[in-house]
Amino acid sequence: MTEKDFKSYLNLWIDTYKLKFHKPPTAIYNCEFGKDIYISEPNESGYAAWNLIKIKSSIDFLELEREIGMDINQDLKVLWNSFYYMELNGVYKGYNIDFFKITPKTDIESIIENQFRINSCKESLEFKIGNAEYEGNDELILLLNNNTGQIYVQDLDNGEKVLLADSINELFSEMEFVI
C-alpha cells in the first residue's frame, strides 16, 4: 500500500461520513493532541470535528529496524506513519473492523518495540493494528503479519486465527464503510 492509496481510502471514509451526517467526523476532544487535528471547538458533549493531518515528523524506520534487527513491513509503515486520524473502521467479510487511531500522542516506536519484545520468540512478528467483532464476539484483534503483510483476526479467548485478507490494500479496497 502506498501513502497515496491510504490517503484515498481515508478521504473516502471522511467523505462518506460527511454525506451521511452533513458534517465532518467527530471524536472526543483531547487537548493533548494539539489543535491541528481538530477543525472545531468541542461541543457541549466534548466532541470536536477532526481532519486528516499529514504526519510531519516521520519515524526513522532505518534506526528502529537496526535496533530490533528486522525490517518492518512497508504497509505497516504507511498505516502508522502517514496521517493522523481519530477513527477508521468498516466491515469486511462480516467482520466489523476498527483500526487503532493514530494521533500526535501515539508513540509508534514504543508500540513497535513492545510488540517486537512480546513476539520475539515466534517465527513471524505480528502487529496489532485494531480490533474486530464477528457475530457478537468482540474479543477479536486485528493483526498484520510483518513477513507476509497478510491480515489476520485472532480470537483472544481461544487463540484461533483466521486469515482475513492477503494485504492491507486488499482489506481497504474491499471493506465497506461503517459510519
The pLDDT score that the predictor gives to residue 123 is 62
End-to-end CA distance of the chain: 23
pLDDT per position as a tens digit, 106-159: 999 999 888 887 776 566 789 999 999 999 999 999 999 999 999 999 999 999
Model pLDDT for residues 76-115, shown as the tens digit of each residue: 999 999 999 999 999 999 999 999 999 999 999 999 888 8
Residue 151 lies in domain: 3-177
Q: What CATH code is carried by the domain that includes residue 110?
A: 3.40.1580.20
- Tally the domains of the chain: 1
Percent of the chain with pLDDT strictly greater than 70: 97
The CA distances from residue 102 to 78, 82, 111, in Å, are 12, 9, 12
Q: Can you count the helices (H) and strands (E) in the chain? A: 5, 11
d(C-alpha 91, C-alpha 154), whole Å: 16
| pLDDT value at residue 113 | 87
